[in-house]
């Protein structure tokens, strides 16, 4: 099986298990923090196959390259802040970059953010007007082979 086949299989399994197929993806570029809404049909074009840590096999990772960022911009990407503001928020917090991005997005939606560990199979990270979204910031791992195997009992 090629890496592309492995990635496709993992993304398909992930989509079968996922509570929602709506995403808000974020990344930095040219000193700015960007965000865009995408649906599950786009995920395969926006993720890469990577090695998971601790013997968990391969992982699905959102680590956009130049071409993927160009695709994201065509989907009505928005600037949500500067990298300087973002880095200060991370430095002044106990939370990581992904959590701070999730906080920013949640607060932009007029909601209070609280750290949680709800599995992707049970709910999204944010619900707006009845639509649940998973929020992913650059370098985010969606899942790995070990987790998918556990969830599908394979």
Q: Given this model, what pLDDT does residue 56 score?
A: 87
- The torsion angles phi and psi of 102, rounded to 5 degrees, stand at -60, -40
- The torsion angles phi and psi of 76, rounded to 5 degrees, stand at 70, 50
List, for residues 47-75, the tens digit of each pLDDT value: 999 998 888 899 999 999 999 999 999 99
Helix (H, G, I), strand (E, B) or coil at 24: strand
In the predicted structure, residue 128 carries a pLDDT above the cut 70? yes
In the predicted structure, residue 129 carries a pLDDT above the cut 90? yes
List, for residues 65-107, the tens digit of each pLDDT value: 999 999 999 999 999 999 999 999 999 999 999 999 999 999 9
Q: Given this model, what pLDDT does residue 154 score?
A: 58
Q: Given this model, what pLDDT does residue 54 score?
A: 82
Of 7 and 55, the structure prediction assigns the larger pLDDT to: 7
In the predicted structure, residue 121 carries a pLDDT above the cut 80? yes
Q: Given this model, what pLDDT does residue 108 score?
A: 96
Local confidence band at 23 (pLDDT 50, 70, 90 cut-offs):
very high
In the predicted structure, residue 109 carries a pLDDT above the cut 80? yes
Cα separation of 44 and 58, whole Å? 15
Asked if 83 and 30 count as a contact pair (C-beta separation under 8 A), the reply is: no
Q: Given this model, what pLDDT does residue 145 score?
A: 94
């Amino acid at each position: 099986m090629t890496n592309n086949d492995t990635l496709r299989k993992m993304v398909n399994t992930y989509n079968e298990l996922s509570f929602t197929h709506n995403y808000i993806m974020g990344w930095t570029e040219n000193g700015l923090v960007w965000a865009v809404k995408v649906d599950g049909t786009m995920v395969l074009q926006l993720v890469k196959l990577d090695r998971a840590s601790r013997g968990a096999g391969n992982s699905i990772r959102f680590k956009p390259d130049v071409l993927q960022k160009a695709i994201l911009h065509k989907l009505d990407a928005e600037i949500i802040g500067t990298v300087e503001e973002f880095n200060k928020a991370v430095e002044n917090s106990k939370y990581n970059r992904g959590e701070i991005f999730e906080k920013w997005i949640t607060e932009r939606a007029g909601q209070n953010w609280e750290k949680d560990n709800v599995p992707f199979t049970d709910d999204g990270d944010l619900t707006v007007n009845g639509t649940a979204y998973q929020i992913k910031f650059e370098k985010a791992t969606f899942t790995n082979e070990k987790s998918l195997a556990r969830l599908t009992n394979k």
